[in-house]
Structure 1
Amino acid sequence: MRIVSLNAWGGRVFAPLMAYLIDVDADVICLQEVVRTPASRADWLMYRDHNIELPQRANLYAEICAALPEHDAFFAPVARGELFDGAQSVPSEFGLATFVRRSKAVIGLTTDFIHGAFLHDGWGPHPRARNAQAVRIFDYKGGAPITIVQLHGLRDPAGKHDTPARLAQADALVGLIGRIWSGNERLVVCGDFNVLPDSATFDKLAELGLADLVVGRGFTDTRTSLYKKPGRYADYMLVTPDVHVTCFEPVAAPEVSDHRALVLDIA
């Protein structure tokens, strides 16, 4: 089974991203920063926040669904706010999306907030609400279930160090995992955590038997050249000991986001 985790960056590197999602041939794809704007037919919209303007692929979720017809798709919006088509504002959703190849049976699905709550009328102040999404899959080929959880950890303008909100987020994540994971089967947790490798988040996840593959295997960079700031850690992939890892890599090329895709192959 191949599992991919990637912050899609709102689809800003659209053509390479779409080609990569097809070519990587993954059984499960966990994406963060996915845009869905059903009311717009525009290809691109603009996110505006004070002096920041970021192009967003207006209907990235629908386009990925069309590109992956052999996968079931699950979208989990974290908020509904404004994007702009010129001067016109357009309501748009932003959140997580998980894609599961239909040869695997989805036997459990859980989505919940791990920081804050859903906002329907704006993006909200920082640190903004965050959610997590979990799928429990029966792998017919392997003859056993596996639970895969993804999250997009809260962003704090002050940095990626631990805060009370991040520690509470970690507790909420552990609680969400406990609602779907049986405790005696394989577990994978992945995503853009927005924390440093020494975060207490990993201590809490270690209590579930989870170990991180990024730092644990000596990788020091989960960013691409499109990310210009210092600090190269953001994305992580954790597994329980019963996950038989045959290959793991934070992919440096092609560059399809300012984050590297994390690719995990398991037996």
Structure 2
Amino acid sequence: MRITCLNGWGGKLHVELAAYLSVNSPDLLCLQEVIHSPGSEKEWLTYRDGDHVLAQRANFFRDICEVLPDHIAIFCPAAQGVLWDDDKPVPSQWGLATFVHRSHTIIGQVQGFVHKDFSPDGFGEHPRSRNAHGVRIHDDSADRTISVTHMHGLRDLKGKMDTAERAAQARRLLEISRQVSRSDDLAVICGDFNVEPDSETIALLEQSGMTELVRSGGFESTRTSHYRKPGKFADYMLINQPGAVRAFDVVHDPEVSDHCPLVLDL
């Protein structure tokens, strides 16, 4: 079984990502920073937050559904605000998506917030609402049950340092994983955590019995050349049964986002 985790950057490199997924289709894709604007037929809209202006794939969720037609797709919105078509505001949702290949049976799932709550009237002030989604699936080929939970961690404009909010977020993430898991499940927790490798977030998750694969694998970055700020880590993947890992990689080539895909083969 292959599990891929990626912050999709709002679909900014949609063409490259679509080509990558067509060739490297995972059994389960955990995708963060997903745009869903079902009332718009535009291909591209613009996100504006002060001086931060970014092109966004208007229906990124639908685009990935079309790339992965054999997957069950679940979209989990964190906030509802507007993107822009020139000077016209377009209602849009922003959040997470999980894609599970139809050959696997989904036997449980849970969706919840790790920071704040759903924001229906705008994306809100930073640090904004953040959510998590967990699925429990039965892998018939290996006759085992696997739970996978992912989140997009809060972004603090001051940086990726430890804060009380991030510690609380990590505890909520762990609780959501436990809600969707059973004690003998192979459990995976992953996502764009927006923290450094030596953070309290990673320590809290490791203290629960999880092994973090990015740092322990000696990888030097989870960001691509499109990310030009200091700090080259954001994305992590943890597992409670490291002996089940056949391979793990942080994919730098091709570049499909400003984040690298994390790819776990069980």
Which bin holds the TM-score, normalised by the shorter protein?
over 0.9
**Alignment: residue pair count:** 266
Superposition pairs for residues 12-91 of structure 1, below 5 Å? 12-91=12-91
Moved more, 152-161 or 178-187: 178-187
State the Cα deviation string for residues 73-109 of structure 1 (Å, max 9, x = none).
0100000001000100011001000000000000001
Aligned to 2:253: 253
1:128 maps to: 128
Provide TM-score, normalisation by structure 1: 0.98
Q: The residue matched to 1:147 in structure 2 has which SS?
A: strand
Q: Distance in 1 between matches of 2:93 and 2:21?
A: 21
Contact 2:25–2:68 (CA under 8 A) maintained in structure 1: no
- Give the aligned partner of residue 220 of structure 1: 220
Instruction: Tell me which amino acid in the other structure corresponds to 1:123.
Output: F
Q: Secondary structure at the match of 1:21?
A: helix
Per the alignment, residue 190 of structure 2 pairs with 190
- Hey, what's the Cα distance between the residues in 1 that align with 2:243 and 2:93? 34
Secondary structure of the 1:227 match is coil
1:15 Cα deviation after fit: 0.4
Q: How far apart are the structure 2 equivalents of 1:231 and 1:105? A: 38
Give the whole-Å Cα distance in 1 for the aligned partners of 2:69 and 2:224: 28
Q: Cα deviations across residues 152-202 of structure 1 (Å, max 9, x unaligned)? A: 000001000100110111111121112111122200111100011111112
Q: Unaligned stretches of 5+ in structure 2?
A: none
Amino acid at match of 2:245: V
> For 2:243 and 2:56, how far apart are their aligned partners in 1?
36
Q: Is the 8 A contact 1:75 1:98 kept in 2?
A: yes
The CA deviation at 1:207 is 3.1
- Report if the CA contact (8 A) 2:211-2:242 is conserved: no
Q: What residue identity is the alignment partner of 2:142?
A: G
Shift of 1:6: 0.4
Which deviations, in whole Å up to 9, do the C-alpha atoms of 1:59-84 show, x marking residues without a partner? 01011111111100010000000100
**Within 2, Cα distance between the matches of 1:37 and 1:31?**
16
Q: Percent same amino acid at aligned positions?
A: 48
Q: Please list, as runs of the form range in 1=range in 2, the aligned pairs for 1:90-105 lying within 5 A after superposition.
A: 90-105=90-105
Aligned to 1:194, the other structure's residue is in SS state: coil
Q: What is the rounded CA distance, in whole Å, between the counterparts of 2:249 and 2:92 in structure 1?
A: 33
Q: Aligned residue for 1:5? A: 5
AA aligned opposite 1:241:
Q
1:152 aligns with 2:121: no
User: Is the Cα–Cα contact under 8 Å of residues 27 and 100 in structure 2 kept in the other structure?
Assistant: yes
Structure 1 segments, 4+ long, off by >2 Å, are none
Amino acid in structure 1 at the alignment position of 2:3? I
Provide structure 1 residue ranges, at least 5 long, that are not aligned to the other structure.
Answer: none
1 CA distance for matches of 2:46 and 2:192? 22
**1:143: which partner in 2?**
143
Cα distance in 2, alignment partners of residues 216 and 240 from structure 1: 14
Give 1:208 deviation, angstroms.
Answer: 2.7
Alignment partners' CA distance in 2, 1:15 and 1:175:
36
Q: CA deviation at 1:243?
A: 5.2
| Paired residues for 1:100-115 under 5 Å | 100-115=100-115
CA RMSD of aligned residues (A): 0.9
Q: Which amino acid aligns with 1:118?
A: F
Point out the more displaced range, 128-137 or 20-29. 20-29
Match of 1:233 in 2: 233
User: Contact 2:177–2:189 (CA<8 Å) still a contact in 1?
Assistant: no
Cα shift at 1:242: 5.5
Once residues 169 and 28 of structure 1 are traced to their aligned partners in structure 2, the CA distance between those partners, rounded to angstroms, is 24
